[in-house]
């Protein structure tokens, strides 16, 4: 019998950073439970955390370097694997130039401290402009907005959920997702608390979501028309003389330009576009302005759409003109123990944006990355700068990027592809080499990114619990090793723990937070208190002011005004996506614990649409878009607004080793999403509002 131990640990699957209590022995997890004393998550946990143990013991997990020989993956030694990688990557770059190599970084990297610290070295060693990540299928409009309004991409305003009186949620379903660009574990309970203190939560979404039901106030909106709603609300604030900049009076410029820009966006115009009533919109603006404190929070649905950047800009502008920016109960800025913004300060730097445009279709580059939507065309299109080789690290673009099948084909045309991953999946199956990664319980955990977006300042650190299989190196070591060999460096650098020890004293809480202190914290974490106003001292715009009306957004308004609600005879319905409690993007579907039960990959549609199309619940339907066609069961529900259908993201595992029971049944929404649909300001994929046709299969 081996001895049982207990560890406090942060779950690093999603952005919520829930505090866990893990009981374990020498070889196995005994239990994973919520830490009731965690100052941020206060006892919240979701089913995914319990599955953390499954990712380690998954029989389909890649646990040795695999090299493809005659189309079949064969185990090779780490030495052979590194040699092969370096030889192939340098060969392609020697022949075709540095930019012939590309790199795609997937979402799990954002949750892995060691990866975040070491990936910049790998990117630098490659020296290519061809960098991609899941950010451009997600939140790049937030960063673009922060760059232009505040001067730094990571100065992200976070809703002060703990104190707000009025929360407006557009395109977010935090009861299921647990929040994004807003680390707010246990969001359902937080909503109850807002209501218990007399506040309101209003959810704007084409689907009556789990969050909308709990809020009790739902405004069904036509996809991709949120910018109309927000701009009309700002219009109403101006028209009613309700503008109030509060403490930011001397820190804001562009107020007249904003007032002029919103003139065409009356409540009547917005009503026509959104499908809401004009009186509802003006009332919403009045209520928002007059609430003790209020905050507009626009997320995925308002980001991964054709007007993603305009939505984020308008959401910030609404918060600012109603005096709800950088104040308690409004949108606030974190002061985390590890100061990510400070570490990457752009103060005093001369920059122009977008930093570059892509070779083939001229899409914008922000934060050093091109839109994922152009990766396939950059692989397919001959000429100088064509991508010939690719590294993916924790990414599955075949299932997660728009028009995934086009990417799958493009990968087959590469001279060389390698992946650092835990599975042979729809993306990595195209690789010539797969290097295995360590998973959560085998690594230290400190959240470098999501403390920056948290509704409260806290900190926690935990050591690895288990050794990796086969004495494998830590994932950070694999990344650093590859970088070192490519660049000729003779060391892989300090461990994540050593780096954290160095960085914490430089953060907002100085010597008050240390690695040793975190490890011995009696409740497993330290509470650094509620958010505090601070933006006046942190603005990184050239003139030190908040810009309410940056040109990039004003120049995009004619496109918004020209937008026609969908009237496409061939594809008369609009498709949106959704998330589900028991899956995380495309990679947790091998946990039986999570996927068991009925097939959740269904097309949701309104009873009126179902009736018109002769479709009954559970019948198989064919869904077609400009780029593809899939078949899946229908789920008839009045949660959907008429004319809009929803398919969950993350499904469609079709490969050899993600061996779960549902794999034959599910399909990928991204076989339908269209890579030509984009927010042109940021380059973000427009996953929502895709024109589709639905018929009985
Ligand atoms: N359980 C679970 N949790 C997750 C994830 C997961 O896969 N599973 N993924 C994580 C990741 S990577 C992220 S980025 C976050 C995302 O977290 P959220 O931002 O909460 O994203 P979603 O849950 O996808 O909710 C998006 C909502 O937008 C709505 N929507 C679609 N189009 C429009 C539109 O045009 N206008 C408006 N107003 N609404 C629209 C959809 O109906 C949906 O309810 O979740 C994270 N958390
Ligand atoms: N239609 C539609 N598409 C979407 C979305 C949507 O709402 N609708 N959401 C978008 C969003 S918000 C996001 S963030 C992206 C996500 O897009 P991606 O980041 O491309 O996809 P993930 O599903 O997170 O896949 C992660 C990959 O990492 C591997 N992996 C898991 N853990 C580890 C690890 O510890 N180390 C390593 N090296 N590999 C690991 C998995 O096997 C998988 O290959 O999808 C986007 N795609
Ligand atoms: S909500 Fe997110 S962080 Fe919390 S337990 Fe679930 S997956 Fe982990
Ligand atoms: Mo995401």
* Cβ of 319 below 6 Å from ligand 2: no
Average pLDDT for 262-286: 98
pTM of the predicted structure, to 2 decimals: 0.98
pLDDT score of 661: 46
518 CA distance to ligand 2 middle (Å) = 30
pLDDT tens per residue across span 468-496: 999 999 999 999 999 999 999 999 999 99
* Whole-number pLDDT of residue 350: 84
Residue 395 CB–ligand 2 contact under 6 Å? yes
Tokens representing residue 261 in the block: 């820009």
658 lines ligand 3 (CB under 6 A): no
> Which ligand is nearest to the Cα of residue 669, counting in written order?
2
Atom nearest to 585 CA in ligand 1: 7
Query: Which ligand is located closest to the Cα atom of residue 688?
Result: 1
Ligand at minimal distance from the CA of 604 is: 1
Closest ligand to the CA of 308: 1
**Residue (of 654, 585, 110, 594) closest to 427 by Cα position:** 654
Gap between the Cα atoms of 59 and 47, Å rounded: 20
Distance 110 CA to ligand 2 centre (A): 10
Q: Please tell me the residue having the least CA distance from ligand 2 atom 33.
A: 394
Q: Give mean pLDDT, residues 591-610.
A: 93
Q: Is the pLDDT of residue 261 over 50?
A: yes
Residue 41: name the closest of 455, 662, 491, 393 by CA. 455
CA-closest candidate to residue 406, choices 440, 386, 377, 432 = 377
Task: For residue range 143-174, list pLDDT tens digits in order.
Answer: 999 999 999 999 999 999 999 999 999 999 99
Q: Is 329 in the pocket of ligand 1 (CB under 6 A)?
A: no
CA distances (Å), 128 to each of 176, 378, 487, in order? 37, 13, 13
User: pLDDT (tens digit, 9 = 90+) per residue, 298-346?
Assistant: 999 999 999 999 999 999 999 999 999 999 999 999 999 999 999 999 8
Q: Is the pLDDT of residue 663 over 60?
A: no
| Pocket lining: 639 vs ligand 1, CB cutoff 6 Å | no
Q: Provide DSSP, 526-564.
A: EEEEE----GGGT--STTSSEESS-HHHHTTHHHHHT--
Region 428-445: what's the mean pLDDT?
98
425 lines ligand 2 (CB under 6 A): yes
If you average pLDDT over every residue of the chain, what do you get? 96
Ligand 2 and 400: CB distance under 6 A: yes
50 has pLDDT over 70: yes
What's residue 186's pLDDT? 98
138 lines ligand 2 (CB under 6 A): yes
Query: What are the beta bridge partners of residue 365?
Result: 356
Confidence of residue 658 (pLDDT cuts 50, 70, 90): low
| Residue 660 pLDDT exceeds 90 | no
pLDDT band at 36 (very low <50, low <70, confident <90, very high): very high
Say if residue 214's pLDDT is above 60.
yes
Closest residue by Cα to atom 41, ligand 2, is: 587
Cβ 548 vs Cβ 317: under 8 Å? yes
Please choose, from the candidates 647, 442, 521, 591, the residue with its C-alpha nearest in 3D space to the C-alpha of residue 46: 591
> Relative to the alpha carbon of 54, which ligand is closest?
2
Q: pLDDT above 70 covers what percent of the chain? A: 98
Cα separation of 515 and 337, whole Å?
Answer: 11
Average pLDDT over residues 113-131: 98
- The residue nearest atom 32 of ligand 1, judged by CA position, is 301
3-state DSSP assignment of residue 697: coil
Is residue 423 within 8 Å of residue 439, measured between CB atoms? no
What is the layout of strands, in order, in the sheet containing 66-69? 72-75, 66-69, 433-436, 416-421, 389-393, 101-105, 131-133
Q: How far does residue 17's CA lie from ligand 3's centre (Å)?
A: 6
| Average confidence (pLDDT) over 84-96 | 96
363 lines ligand 3 (CB under 6 A): no
403: left (phi over 0), alpha (psi -120 to 50) or beta: left
d(CA 585, CA 649): 7
* Ligand 2 binding pocket mutation candidate from 54, 400, 673, 684 (most atoms within 8 A of CB): 400
Closest CA to 301 of 374, 221, 375: 221
């Amino acid at each position: 019998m081996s001895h049982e131990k207990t560890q406090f640990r942060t779950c690093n699957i999603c952005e919520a950073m829930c505090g866990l209590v893990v009981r374990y022995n020498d070889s196995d997890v005994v239990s994973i439970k919520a830490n009731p004393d965690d100052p941020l998550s206060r006892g919240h946990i979701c089913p995914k955390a319990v599955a953390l143990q499954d990712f380690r013991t998954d029989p389909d997990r890649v646990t040795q370097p695999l090299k493809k020989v005659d189309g079949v993956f064969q185990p090779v030694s780490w030495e052979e694997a590194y040699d092969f990688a370096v030889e192939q990557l340098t060969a392609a770059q020697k022949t075709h130039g540095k930019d012939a190599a590309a790199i795609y970084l997937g979402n799990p990297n954002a949750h892995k401290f060691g990866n975040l610290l070491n990936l910049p070295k790998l990117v630098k060693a490659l020296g290519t402009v061809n960098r991609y990540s899941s950010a451009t299928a997600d939140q790049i409009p937030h960063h673009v907005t922060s760059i232009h309004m505040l001067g730094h991409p990571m100065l992200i305003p976070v809703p002060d959920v703990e104190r707000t009186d009025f929360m407006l949620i557009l395109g977010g379903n935090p009861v299921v997702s647990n929040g994004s660009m807003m680390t707010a574990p246990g969001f359902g309970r937080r909503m109850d608390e807002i209501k218990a203190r007399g506040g309101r939560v209003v959810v704007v979404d084409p689907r009556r979501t789990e969050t909308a039901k709990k809020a009790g106030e739902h405004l069904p909106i036509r996809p991709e028309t949120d910018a109309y709603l927000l701009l009309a609300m700002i219009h109403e604030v101006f028209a009613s003389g309700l503008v109030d900049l509060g403490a930011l009076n001397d820190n804001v410029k562009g107020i007249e330009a904003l007032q002029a820009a919103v003139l065409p966006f009356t409540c009547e115009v917005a009503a026509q576009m959104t499908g809401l009533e004009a009186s509802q919109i003006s009332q919403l603006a009045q209520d928002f302005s007059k609430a003790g404190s209020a905050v507009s929070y626009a997320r995925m649905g308002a980001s991964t759409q054709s007007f993603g950047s305009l939505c984020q800009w308008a959401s910030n502008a609404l918060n600012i003109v109603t005096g709800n920016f950088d104040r308690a109960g409004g949108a606030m800025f974190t002061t985390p123990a590890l100061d990510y913004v400070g570490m990457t300060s752009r103060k005093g730097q001369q920059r122009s944006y977008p930093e570059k445009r892509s070779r083939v279709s001229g899409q914008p580059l922000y934060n050093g990355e091109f839109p994922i939507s152009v990766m396939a065309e950059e692989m397919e299109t001959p000429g100088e700068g064509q991508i010939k080789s690719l590294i993916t690290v924790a990414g599955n673009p075949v299932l997660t990027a728009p028009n995934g099948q086009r990417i799958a084909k493009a990968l087959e045309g590469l001279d060389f592809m390698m992946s650092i991953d835990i599975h042979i999946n729809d993306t990595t199956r195209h690789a010539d080499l797969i290097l295995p990664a360590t998973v959560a319980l085998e690594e230290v955990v400190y959240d470098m990114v999501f403390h920056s977006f948290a509704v409260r300042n806290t900190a926690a650190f935990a050591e690895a619990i288990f050794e990796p299989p086969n004495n494998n190196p830590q994932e950070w070591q694999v990344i650093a090793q590859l970088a070192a060999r490519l660049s000729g460096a003779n060391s892989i650098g300090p461990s994540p723990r050593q780096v954290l020890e160095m960085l914490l004293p430089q953060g907002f809480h100085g010597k008050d937070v240390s690695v040793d202190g975190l490890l011995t914290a009696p409740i497993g974490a330290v509470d650094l208190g509620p958010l505090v106003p601070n933006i006046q001292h942190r603005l990184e715009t050239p003139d030190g002011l908040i810009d309410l009306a940056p040109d990039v957004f004003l120049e995009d308004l004619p496109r918004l005004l020209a937008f026609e609600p969908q009237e496409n005879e061939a594809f008369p319905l609009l498709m949106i996506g959704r998330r589900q409690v028991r899956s995380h993007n495309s990679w947790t579907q091998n946990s039986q614990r999570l996927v068991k039960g009925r097939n959740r990959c269904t097309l949701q549609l309104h009873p009126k649409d179902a009736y018109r199309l002769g479709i009954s619940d559970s019948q198989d339907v064919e869904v077609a878009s400009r780029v593809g066609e899939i078949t899946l069961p229908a789920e008839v529900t009045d949660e959907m607004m008429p004319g809009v259908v929803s398919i969950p993201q993350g499904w469609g595992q079709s490969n050899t080793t993600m061996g779960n029971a549902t794999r034959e049944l599910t399909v990928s929404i991204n076989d339908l999403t269209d890579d030509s649909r984009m927010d042109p300001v940021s380059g973000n994929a427009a996953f929502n509002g895709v024109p589709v046709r639905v018929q009985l299969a």
